[in-house]
Structure 1
Amino acid sequence: MISIILISTPFLFYLYRLAPKADTWDLGFMILDNGGFSTVKVFVHALMTKLMFLIFTTIWFFTSKHWWRFSILIPFGLFFFQTTGVINQNIKYTEDFNFWSVVPMLLPILIGMILVSIKLNKESRLLDIREQISIEMEEIKQKRRAS
């Protein structure tokens, strides 16, 4: 699954090339506007750039087994903050917008990521233990057959 996501990221990033140099883009199921940028193409490019970093830091956090992986949450928070800035491009809102405004939205996401990471870590350890048990059982069976 992670491989598919990683393989698809260049295609997602270059999605902006399909966007028109207009104020709106009718996708059939929704209409996308320029979000305060000069054209929809510029908006999609800015959004995809930020989303790519969110995807990469999320995958990095979940796949890292090192003790320092929680420090990856710092750039994740920064990219989340920047992504919300791209999505909410109203001038008045941007002037009043700072990092502390994002914390209430970011905290549940970070807590969820930590909880999922802990669960995945436990599952990974269980799989390793099961593999070790099956290897030891095979060795015991081979010893009994040999004797």
Structure 2
Amino acid sequence: MKRRITDQGSRARKKIIIDSFIVFFIIISPFVFKMHEYVSEDPNATLKILWFTLDRNGFLDLSTYVWFLLGKLVPFYLFIIWFFTCKHWWYHIILIPITMYAFQIFEVVYSEDLFVDTENVLWLLPVCMVIIPFVYFIRVKLYDKYVHGIDLDAMDAELKELKERERLREEGLDD
């Protein structure tokens, strides 16, 4: 009994710590987005963070590049938090904007093109082709069950029972 209470207490503490981190990252999101204001506007400036070095990467200056990058990163991590904490049946649809932002971030960081955010919609098509039918299928199942009162499992069981009766009746007539 004491062991069970201890397990529940440690689980509750762990959940509070994880939830606190999630809330912290949501709270600081506007401040993270505004970090570009503290980056140099000098066209030749670079920024070294740990083992990463950021330069202007084709933008006018480093501040513009960081502004553009944070404009993608902040919604990206907020969508990820939403995806992992959402308890609704449709939460898989959140993968579409997550994928969109992931492609945009990849394009901003690794692209050598003069234009960004141009053709990433084409990269989303395969993701959408998987996610949208999956979510629609779940919606149809839920709608049939809870709105129309159609229980497909019960219908399958009833059809099997009818087929079994029909089979027994035919065997009885053949004998």
Q: What TM-score, normalized to structure 2?
A: 0.51
**Are the structure 2 counterparts of residues 80 and 90 from structure 1 closer, same or farther at C-alpha, using a change threshold of 3 Å?**
same
Q: Percent identity?
A: 29
* Residues 61-100 of structure 1: pairs in structure 2 closer than 5 A: 61-91=83-113
Q: Deviations over 1:16-67 (max 9, x none)?
A: 0011112322447453200111100000001101001111110110111011
* Secondary structure at the counterpart of residue 58 of structure 2: coil
Q: 1:36·1:89 contact (CA, 8 Å) conserved in 2?
A: no
Give 1 or 2 for the bigger CA radius of gyration. Answer: 2
Give the whole-Å Cα distance in 2 for the aligned partners of 1:28 and 1:74. Answer: 30
Residue in 2 that maps onto 1:24:
45
Aligned residues: 106
Residue type of the partner of 2:26? L
**Are the structure 2 counterparts of residues 40 and 102 from structure 1 closer, same or farther at C-alpha, using a change threshold of 3 Å?**
farther
Residue in 2 that maps onto 1:140:
none
Cα root mean square deviation, aligned:
3.0
Residue in 2 that maps onto 1:4:
24
Residue in 1 that maps onto 2:173:
none
Give the whole-Å Cα distance in 2 for the aligned partners of 1:2 and 1:21. Answer: 32
Higher RCO structure, 1 or 2 (CA under 8 Å, sep 6+): 1
Give the whole-Å Cα distance in 1 for the aligned partners of 2:110 and 2:26. Answer: 27
Residue type of the partner of 2:75? F
Give the whole-Å Cα distance in 2 for the aligned partners of 1:98 and 1:92. Answer: 14
Residue in 2 that maps onto 1:142:
none
Q: What TM-score, normalized to structure 1?
A: 0.60
Give the whole-Å Cα distance in 2 for the aligned partners of 1:85 and 1:6. Answer: 25
Give the whole-Å Cα distance in 2 for the aligned partners of 1:49 and 1:31. Answer: 19
Residue type of the partner of 2:77? I
**Are the structure 2 counterparts of residues 63 and 48 from structure 1 closer, same or farther at C-alpha, using a change threshold of 3 Å?**
same
